[in-house]
Amino acid sequence: MRQPPRPRSTASPEGTGRSAGEQAERGRAPGVGDGAPQPRTRTEEKKAAGRRRVEVARVRHPVRMEGPVGAADAAEILGSHEEGVSEGLPARLEERRRARRHLRAVRAAVLVAMLGTVAVVVWAVFASPLLRLSGDAVEVQGATGALSADEVRAAVEPFEGTPLVLLDTDEVARAVSALPLARDVTVARDWPDGVRVGVTVRTAAMAVSADGGVQLVDDQGVVVGEQAERPDGLPLAVLPDDGQAQARTQAAGQIGTVWAALPEDLRAQVGTISSDGAQVTLSLAGGQTVRWGTEEDSDLKARVLAVLLAQRPATTYDVSVPTRPVTS
C-alpha cells in the first residue's frame, strides 16, 4: 500500500532551526528561495507598517540605531500616543484651572471695587455733611424793600441740615410764600450745599381807607403796608372784606386793570374805584358815577368815557357796553 508523503522539514538549509513564523517575519515563505516576493499576510503587513513608522520617527528624531527597530521597541523609544495624551492633559487641565481661578479673582476684585464706590457715593450723598443744606449757602434773589433777604433765610432755616438730594424744593417754596410780601417764589438746588431762592415782592397797586390812614394793597388784595396818606399815582379803592378772599382777589385785579387803562387826565378826575368782584364802578371827583362793568374792553371804555365827559354833561355814565354807552 502506498504511503502518504511526509511533510517537509521547516528547518532552514543552514540548520538554524527557525520556524515558519520566523521565516515569514523575514519576508519569506518556509522552504521558498530568494526569488519573486510572496504575498504577505495581515500580520506581516501590520509589522511592516510598524517598521515604516519607526523609520519615520528615526528621520524626525535622528538617533543612531544599529539595526531595524520593531513596533514594541519604537513605542518604548518614542512613547505611545496614549502616554503623550496622559502626560499633556493634566497640564492643560491645570492651566485651565489656574485661568478660571484668576478670572474669578479679577471678577471678585472688580465687584468689591464697585461696591466700595457705591458705598462711598451713598455715604457722600445721604450722610456726608458736605452735601447738606447750609444756612450760609442760601442765596436770595429779588428780596427788596419791605421784604428783606434775612426774612427769606429765616423761612428756609428749618430745612438746614437736610441732605440736598432729599430736599423738597416745593416745600421750601411754600414756606417762603407764607411771608406776606412774597408773591412768587422759586427754589433751586445749588450744589453742593446751598439753594437759590428767587422772590417776587408784592408791590402796592392801590390804597384802601383804614383807621388813621390807608392800607397799601397789591393787585391780589394783599396788604403790603400802611401809611398815613394815599401815595401819588395810586387809586383809592373799595374792596370786599378780607373774609371774602376770592371776591377780594378778583376785585383787586379788576381795579388794577381799569386803572392801568385810564389816561392821566381821567385818573386825575377819579375819586374812588370800587368793585365787588364782578362789576367796577368809578366815583369821579365832580360827583359823577361811571358804571364800568367788567374789566373787558377797558381801553375802549376809557376812550368812550373821555368823549362823553367832554361832550355830554351828566351825573351817570354807563360804558359797560362801550359801543352803546348810556348817560343820564
Whether residue 66 has pLDDT greater than 70 = no
Per-residue confidence (pLDDT) for residue 113, from 0 to 100: 84
> Any alpha helices (H) in 14-129, and if so which ranges?
20-25, 42-60, 71-78, 81-122
pLDDT reported for residue 15: 41
Averaged pLDDT for residues 152-164: 93
CA distances from 179 to 5, 67, 96, 111, 295 (A): 143, 116, 73, 51, 29
**Nearest residue to 57 (alpha-carbon basis) of 37, 41, 90, 79:** 79
Secondary structure element (H or E) that encloses residue 260, with its range = helix 245-261
What does the pLDDT read at residue 198? 95
Whole-number pLDDT of residue 185: 95
* Rounded average pLDDT over 67-80: 56
Q: DSSP characters for 29-42?
A: -TT--SSSPPPPPH
Mean pLDDT of the region 14-39: 46
The domain made up of 131-201 is a member of CATH 3.10.20.310: yes
Q: Is 27 a residue whose pLDDT tops 50?
A: no
The whole-number average pLDDT for the span 258-262 is 95
| pLDDT in the model for residue 58 | 53
DSSP letter at 317 equals E
- Inter-residue contact 271 to 283 (CB < 8 Å): yes
Which residues lie closer than 8 Å to 290 by C-beta, 6 or more apart? 281, 282, 283, 284, 305, 316, 317, 318, 319
For the chain, give the mean pLDDT: 80
Give me the pLDDT at residue 228, please.
Answer: 92
Cis peptide before 180 (omega within 30 of 0): no
Q: What is the pLDDT of residue 105?
A: 85
Q: Specify whether the CB–CB gap between 270 and 262 falls below 8 A.
A: yes
pLDDT tens digits, 199-244:
999 999 999 998 889 999 999 999 998 999 999 999 999 999 877 8
With contact defined as beta carbons under 8 Å apart, do 217 and 224 qualify? yes
For domain 206-327, give the CATH number. 3.40.50
| C-alpha to C-alpha distance for 148 and 142, rounded to whole angstroms | 9
207-233 burial: b if 16+ Cβ within 10 Å, else e: bbeeeeebbbbbbbbbbbbeeeebeee
Residue ranges covered by each domain of the chain = 82-127, 131-201, 206-327
Share above pLDDT 90 across residues of the chain, in percent, rounded to a whole number: 48
* The pLDDT value given to residue 159: 94
Q: 169-177 and 149-156 helices cross at what angle (nearest 10)? A: 130
